[in-house]
Structure 1
Amino acid sequence: MNKVTAREIIKTLETWAPKSFAYDWDNVGLQVGSLNKPVQNVMVTLDVVESVVDEAVEKKVDLIIAHHPLLFVKLHQINVDTPKGRIVQKLLKHDITVYAAHTNLDVAEGGVNDVMADLLDVKNRRPLIPTETEQLVKLAVFVPDSHLEAVRDAVSEAGAGFIGDYSHCTYQVSGEGTFKPQEGTNPFIGEQGRLEQVQEKRLETIVPQSKLSKVLQAMEKAHPYEEVAYDLYPLLNEGRSLGIGRVGRLDEPISLQDFADKVKERFDVPHVRVAGKMGKTVQTVALLGGSGEKYIHKAKSSGADVYVTGDMTFHMTQDAVEMGLHVIDPGHHVEKVVCVKVQQYLEERCNKDGALNILVSEVDTEPFTIQ
């Protein structure tokens, strides 16, 4: 059984969380090692600390996929007498490649912030801090009538044809296609040197730029022709708004006390810090995985009753309460919830033949202990 390479796995991951989604100050992508490395064992983790690397060595891991970059701050030397230097040395010694998906996985639909929102039953979501609007492309492909349904379903399942909450949005026009197979071809229809006339459909649909490569691959796989005829048109239509954090609503109002209990339970944390009046009801929720205190004004202006984020400091929390914004701080480490989602994503898309062993690190990288 041929092993898949780290590059193939990362290419799949980046169809979900492209590096272009990341903030300019971030350091996403390859951290240590080689993307050309054959991979059998993959480990997903929140952080790359030495105990996680030790676990990877023990489990013969070839590729670590982390949320937090190992090399977030630029290294000026690799001193193996320092903690960071020892980690890099150990990774190189045991030929372990490390890749980080950080703010790009925060922005991505279904990433960190959406997983958090799902756990808290926050509905009708939008980005808290929009960063960009996704570019859209019109795809027009010419398909023989016999394969229209197969091609339409393939491109739709790959991510084309979404307009709002509607999927499989396409338009078809009937026509007649002509072609003459040349020497060396192996045509699905017709013979070499003979002009063919075929009843075809022009199938049109809309594609997000980030999913274009995947959609084209699916189209070519489902299409019967040796050479597929298609056109791509850039559109001025605005696509989805992308960004970090989420704002949405709960189905019913709930007391701040009960919502704080829910945050604690759903995020599986030993405690949460709460600021505000515990008896007040909340329904509109803003949330941001990681450190979100500098966005309290964004949370308030979004109409949120409560803001769920980590690393809130004393004075910023006071300012939020004075503005009438309740705050729940479950800690930075709650971003761990995305690890299982990454594992599931890679299992579905990279491990169809069972050649990979994709696991989530069992090391708890939370540095705080509650006494």
Structure 2
Amino acid sequence: MSPTLAEVITALERAYPPALAEPWDAVGLVCGDRTEPVRSVLVCVDPVESTVDEALELGADLVLAHHPLLLRGVHGVPADDPKGKLIHRLIRAGSALFCAHTNADSADPGVSDALADALGLVGTAPLEPKPDAPTTGLGRVGELAEAEPFAQFVRRVAEALPATAWGVRAAGDPERMIKRVAVCGGAGDSMLGVATRSGADAYVTADLRHHPAGEHLEKGSDLPALVDVSHWASEWPWCEQAARVIRDAFGGNVAVHVSERRTDPWTLAASR
């Protein structure tokens, strides 16, 4: 018997408790009937036209997305609005949309655990633990099995994550040995200070801005070297982790698909 949407939501909220979400966030069920059965799920980072297309092609009853569709308050979802159009398409197809965002970021395991695993880190712990639940919180810090030069570590990151036009950018001495590594899936320059205090040799995150990165590097060569990847690529490993949550809860009663469609907004890169 296929589980109901309500039963799938219970499993997801057990893995990614809504209480872990930041106060400004919008997580949970966006559209869908909790009493309907769920036979097929598509897991993705972004609920956008491409992934909705994929979900409808698969006949998915549920789209599980990391990023919220309606993060900021809206007064309506008309079909001639890009986001409203997606909701109308999903409802007409009988597909639900559920989002796990900052609650998945802080969960144990969560988004940064998936990134750390992809890079081969062991012995990980939260960079910024929640006071009342020290195994949860933003970011992770762990160690490589063996130290390696920074240039080699940057190649490791590039090989571990899906390719994007953004690519992998790095700042640091290519010969510096890297052993202890901090990571934060998604935009993480606000965690630069925390990564530094963790004693990390390198910090991997997305969306590093010019001034915070430059000011960090000016403070000394013993601070973590920086690796900047695309936002989407840094969070994509979570999709398989979330897929396992559903597979483990319902076995073969639900077909779970991980989207491989690149929804990173940057599509071209050029250099001189």
Write the deviation string for residues 206-242 of structure 1: whole angstroms up to 9, x where unpaired.
Answer: xxxxxxxxxxxxxxxxxxxxxxxxxxxxxxxxxx432
Q: Distance in 1 between matches of 2:232 and 2:5?
A: 26
Tell me the CA shift for residue 244 of structure 1: 0.8
1:264 and 2:171 correspond: no
1:350 and 2:250 correspond: yes
Which residue of 1 is the match for residue 193 of structure 2?
A: 297
Tell me the CA shift for residue 369 of structure 1: 2.1
Report if aligned partners of 1:320, 1:326 keep a CA contact under 8 Å in 2.
Answer: no
Which residue of 2 is the match for residue 274 of structure 1?
A: 170
Which residue of 1 is the match for residue 125 of structure 2?
A: 126
Write the deviation string for residues 29-73 of structure 1: whole angstroms up to 9, x where unpaired.
Answer: 111222222221111111100121122122211111111111112
Deviation larger for 18-27 or 33-42: 33-42
Which residue of 1 is the match for residue 112 of structure 2?
A: 113
- Which amino acid in 1 is paired with 2:255? N
Which residue of 2 is the match for residue 146 of structure 1?
A: none
Tell me the CA shift for residue 355 of structure 1: 2.7
Q: Distance in 1 between matches of 2:94 and 2:130?
A: 36
Tell me the CA shift for residue 3 of structure 1: 3.0
Which residue of 2 is the match for residue 313 of structure 1?
A: 209
CA RMSD, Structure 1 to Structure 2 (Å): 1.5
Q: Distance in 1 between matches of 2:108 and 2:228?
A: 23
Report if aligned partners of 2:118, 2:237 keep a CA contact under 8 Å in 1.
Answer: no
The TM-score normalised by the length of structure 2 is: 0.91
1:241 and 2:135 correspond: yes
- Which amino acid in 1 is paired with 2:201? D
Q: Distance in 2 between matches of 1:28 and 1:244?
A: 16
Q: Distance in 1 between matches of 2:179 and 2:261?
A: 35
- Which amino acid in 2 is paired with 1:346? I
Which residue of 1 is the match for residue 262 of structure 2?
A: 364
Give 5+ residue unaligned stretches, structure 2.
none
Q: Distance in 2 between matches of 1:25 and 1:364?
A: 27
Give 5+ residue unaligned stretches, structure 1.
135-239
Which residue of 2 is the match for residue 252 of structure 1?
A: 146
Tell me the CA shift for residue 329 of structure 1: 0.6
Write the deviation string for residues 77-104 of structure 1: whole angstroms up to 9, x where unpaired.
Answer: 2232221121111112222110011111
Tell me the CA shift for residue 107 of structure 1: 1.3
Tell me the CA shift for residue 317 of structure 1: 1.1
- Which amino acid in 2 is paired with 1:369? T
Which residue of 1 is the match for residue 230 of structure 2?
A: 331
1:322 and 2:244 correspond: no
Please give the residue correspondences for 1:71-90 in structure 2 after superposition, counting only pairs within 5 Å. 71-90=70-89
Tell me the CA shift for residue 125 of structure 1: 1.6
Tell me the CA shift for residue 278 of structure 1: 1.6
Q: Distance in 2 between matches of 1:363 and 1:370?
A: 16
> Which one has the largest radius of gyration?
1
Report if aligned partners of 2:125, 2:141 keep a CA contact under 8 Å in 1.
Answer: yes
- Which amino acid in 2 is paired with 1:356? V
Q: Distance in 2 between matches of 1:336 and 1:366?
A: 10
